[in-house]
């Protein structure tokens, strides 16, 4: 300040005096001498002192500090904040800017975003976020700094605008310019874009990246990736992430669970589907998963066809859940399965020896019928077959008792349903499985039940024992059981009883006794059936008498029955071996009469013309 005043005074003097040299000299000598003190030169060996650090940048976190600091006009550049997917908006520039300035802070911006999302104004959300991120805070005057949730709104707007997966990844990476780390919700939005673009490989890499960086995926992340892999038939790759879902305690979505069922059913990978359902049942959150009713039916039918008892049991369990849900709603919905499905389940249980499947199928049938009617005879026979195959003879005879109580006195019932040669043949096979010991134990139990209260006496059950004795070639036990029907059980033998006894004599080549049984049946007035004549034909063929067999066939035709194709084949084979050409011609005429195409026996006869060479 003093130097400036002196310069001003000198200039004024020069304007009033003509000799400037005098004034300059006077000015030099009139000034005060400056103090001069010696200064030591700095030591070259000593280092320069470190400067004190500056305070941190108050605008840290905004990549646009150099552009908008003290320059609010630069907040509306021509380029967007981040790579813009779709440009333009139905709002005019002035109107949009007016709306932007109504949102001064982050909280207000979130409220505006909520309104825009409800109205699906995704382009306006992008422009508003772009403008806000380049502007200054009205309160502090510093650049605006979004948080993760606010940036996720911006990601969602780009996703809904049709951003490609690589563009969404770039947007997520730009979060680090604001010193923000993408969270699980951010990556989920990127995964959704990959699902829309069917980029399964990129989705897998992104999940691995999340696991490596410590941003652990949630149930939505895994469901997105698993669903994408399943829809591209990459079931094996998806199983790894399914295990991660279950180990992490997350919930598998019903859509993904249904996609698993659809994919496995389409490729017939029933064992894989079974393992998936078993894994889901190990957690409390996923054991309640249940596909749609139609998928339950399709899964059950496929499991029955493939003899997969576990998958069949799971399918029946799903159906039982649907029936229970229908009963609990208001008004109740009565769902039920068809008896054909239950019969298939019981047959599969017999083939796979699964007691659980048998019990589940019968329980499901009871729920479906709701005690409005009794099961059909076919259902009872299927249950008898299942129990017999498993070896549960007591339950098999118990089912036979229920069957007899329901249909024995019915006028429309076919008596062949109680035949040990056809319908009850599985029970016969189970009775003689272990030889006479099983037959004796069954007979003793039936005898005890006949003296119980109330008593149970069944000719059909005793017929199974008689035919079982015939299968083990034990004529003594068979005859004693036949006699006991009338003497001990006080019942009347039916045609099936006589057929079982006739079968026993025929297997032992006692053709005379078999013919006596047949004559005894005729004298009693009991009408023989087709099985009676077929068994008598077999008895004559066992005795190598094709002519007598053809005579029985003639009686059979006169009685109104038709011999089976298998019976005619047996007779023709015996005629060929006995060189009875006349009888063979008669068999040929019978086959033409009944429109049977017998075919040749060349392949079978080759077995009798093989010449074995003892030299090897």
- Asked if residue 401 and residue 467 are part of one domain, the reply reads yes
Mean pLDDT by 10 residues, the chain (616 residues): 47 45 40 51 55 61 53 46 43 49 71 90 90 82 86 92 91 88 92 92 92 89 93 90 90 92 92 92 90 95 95 96 92 92 96 96 94 92 96 94 88 85 94 90 92 89 94 92 92 93 92 92 90 93 90 92 91 86 88 82 67 65
- In-domain check, residue 400: yes
**Dihedral (CA of 352, 356, 360, 366) sign:** positive
Last residue of a domain, one of 484, 508, 532: 508
**One-character DSSP codes across 151-178:** HHHHHHHHHHTT--HHHHHHHHHGGGGG
Other CB atoms within 10 A of residue 190 CB: 26
Dihedral angle computed from the Cα positions of residues 484, 487, 491 and 496, in that order, rounded to the nearest 10 degrees: 40
**pLDDT tens sequence across 221-232:** 999 999 999 999
Query: For residue 412, what pLDDT is reported?
Result: 76
Q: How far apart are CA 90 and CA 472, in angstroms?
A: 92
The verdict on 396 and 498 lying in the same domain is: yes
In three-state secondary structure terms, 560 is: coil
In a domain, 86, yes or no: yes
| 223 found inside a domain | no
Residues 486 and 531 in one domain: no
What angle is formed at CA 238 by the lines to CA 234 and CA 239, rounded to 5 degrees?
Answer: 120
Number of domains in the chain: 3
pLDDT at 423: 93
pLDDT at position 453 = 85
Give a yes or no: residue 128 inside a domain.
yes
Look at residues 508, 537, 572 and tell me which one is the last residue of a structural domain: 508
Determine the Cα–Cα distance for residues 189 and 414; give it in Å rounded to an integer. Answer: 67
Residue 76's pLDDT is what?
Answer: 46
Decide: 396 and 465 in contact? Cβ < 8 Å: no
At residue 582, the pLDDT reads 87
- Predicted local distance difference test score (pLDDT) of residue 604: 64
Q: What is the pLDDT of residue 349?
A: 96
Judge contact between 210 and 244, C-beta under 8 A: no
In angstroms, the CA 24 to CA 242 distance is 98
Kindly state whether residues 495 and 585 are assigned to the same domain: no
pLDDT of res. 39: 54
Helices (H), 268-338: 270-280, 293-306, 309-328
**Containing structural domain, residue 529:** 511-597
**pTM of the predicted model as reported, rounded to 2 decimal places:** 0.76
SS3 sequence of 43-92: CCCCCCCCCCCCCCCCCCCCCCHHHHCCCHHHHCCCCCCCCCCCCCCCCC
Asked if residue 474 and residue 435 are part of one domain, the reply reads yes
**476 plus 523 within the same structural domain:** no
Q: Is the backbone of residue 154 left (phi > 0), alpha (psi -120 to 50) or beta?
A: alpha
Alpha-carbon distances of 370 from 281, 373, 376, 595, rounded to whole Å: 29, 8, 14, 47
Domain assignment present for 156 = yes
The pLDDT value recorded for residue 481 is 93
Same domain? 404 vs 501: yes
Say if residue 543 is in the same domain as residue 471: no
| Together in a domain, 566 and 586 | yes
Same domain, yes or no, for 555 and 574?
A: yes
What's phi and psi for 179, nearest 5 deg?
60, 40
Q: 490: Cβ–Cβ under 8 A, 6 or more apart, which residues?
A: 457
Report pLDDT for 21: 43
Same domain as 181, residue 92: yes
235 in Cβ contact with 263 (< 8 Å): yes
Residue 263, in any domain of the structure: no
In a domain, 225, yes or no: no
Task: Based on the fold, state whether residues 518 and 496 are members of the same structural domain.
Answer: no
pLDDT at residue 50, as a whole number: 63
Domain boundary among 156, 185, 214: 185
Q: Which residue in 317, 287, 284, 283 sits closest to 299, CA to CA?
A: 317
Residue 219 lies in a domain: no
Distance CA 469, CA 452 (A): 25
Given this model, what pLDDT does residue 20 score?
Answer: 45
Cα dihedral across residues 225, 230, 236, 239: positive or negative: positive
């Amino acid at each position: 300040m003093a130097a400036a005043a002196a310069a001003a005074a000198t200039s004024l003097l020069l304007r009033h005096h003509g000799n400037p040299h005098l004034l300059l000299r006077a000015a030099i000598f009139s000034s005060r001498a400056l103090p001069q003190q010696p200064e030591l030169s700095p030591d070259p060996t000593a280092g320069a002192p470190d400067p004190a650090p500056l305070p941190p940048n108050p605008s840290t976190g905004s990549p646009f500090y150099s552009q908008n600091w003290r320059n609010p006009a630069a907040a509306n550049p021509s380029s967007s904040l981040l790579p813009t997917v779709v440009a333009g908006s139905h709002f005019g520039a002035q109107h949009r800017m007016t709306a932007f300035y109504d949102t001064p802070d982050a909280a207000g911006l979130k409220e505006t975003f909520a309104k825009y999302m409800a109205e699906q104004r995704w382009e306006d959300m992008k422009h508003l976020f772009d403008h806000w991120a380049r502007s200054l805070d009205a309160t502090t005057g510093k650049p605006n700094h979004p948080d993760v949730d606010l940036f996720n709104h911006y990601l969602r707007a780009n996703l809904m605008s049709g951003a490609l997966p690589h563009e969404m990844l770039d947007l997520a990476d730009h979060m680090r310019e604001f010193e923000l780390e993408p969270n699980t919700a951010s990556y989920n939005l990127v995964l959704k874009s990959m699902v829309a673009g069917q980029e399964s490989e990129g989705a897998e890499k992104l999940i691995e990246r999340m696991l490596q960086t410590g941003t652990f995926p949630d149930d939505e992340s895994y469901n997105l990736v698993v669903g994408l892999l399943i829809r591209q038939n990459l079931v094996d790759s998806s199983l790894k992430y399914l295990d991660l879902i279950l180990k992490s305690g997350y919930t598998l979505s019903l859509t993904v669970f249904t996609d698993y069922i659809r994919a496995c059913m389409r490729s017939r990978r029933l064992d894989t589907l079974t393992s998936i359902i078993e894994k889901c049942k190990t957690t409390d959150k996923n054991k309640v998963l249940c596909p749609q009713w139609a998928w339950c039916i399709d899964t059950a039918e496929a499991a029955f066809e493939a003899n997969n008892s576990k998958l069949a049991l799971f399918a029946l369990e799903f159906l039982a859940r649907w029936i229970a849900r229908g009963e609990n709603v208001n008004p109740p919905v009565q769902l039920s399965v068809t008896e054909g499905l239950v019969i298939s389940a019981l047959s599969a249980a017999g083939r796979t020896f699964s007691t659980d499947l048998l019990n589940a199928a019968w329980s499901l049938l009871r729920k479906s019928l709701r005690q409005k009617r009794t099961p059909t005879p076919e259902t009872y026979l299927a249950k008898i077959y299942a129990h017999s195959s498993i070896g549960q003879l007591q339950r098999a005879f118990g089912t036979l008792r229920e069957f007899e109580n329901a249909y024995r006195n019915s006028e429309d019932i076919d008596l062949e349903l109680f035949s040990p040669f056809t319908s009850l043949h599985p029970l016969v096979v189970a009775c003689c499985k272990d030889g006479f010991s099983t037959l004796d134990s069954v007979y003793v139990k039936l005898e005890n039940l006949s003296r119980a209260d109330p008593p149970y006496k069944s000719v059909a059950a005793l017929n199974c024992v008689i035919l079982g004795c015939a299968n083990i070639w034990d004529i003594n036990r068979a005859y004693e059981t036949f006699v006991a029907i009338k003497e001990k059980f006080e019942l009347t033998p039916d045609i099936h009883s006589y057929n079982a006894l006739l079968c026993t004599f025929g297997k032992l080549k006692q053709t005379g006794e078999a013919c006596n049984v047949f004559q005894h049946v005729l004298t009693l007035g009991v009408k023989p059936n087709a099985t009676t004549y077929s068994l008598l034909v077999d008895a004559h063929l066992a005795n190598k008498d094709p002519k007598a067999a053809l005579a029985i066939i003639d009686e059979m035709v006169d009685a109104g029955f038709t011999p089976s194709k298998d019976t005619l084949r047996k007779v023709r084979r015996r005629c060929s071996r006995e060189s009875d050409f006349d009888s063979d011609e008669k068999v040929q005429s019978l086959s033409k009469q009944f429109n049977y195409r017998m075919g040749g026996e060349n392949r079978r006869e080759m077995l009798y013309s093989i010449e074995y060479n003892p030299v090897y």
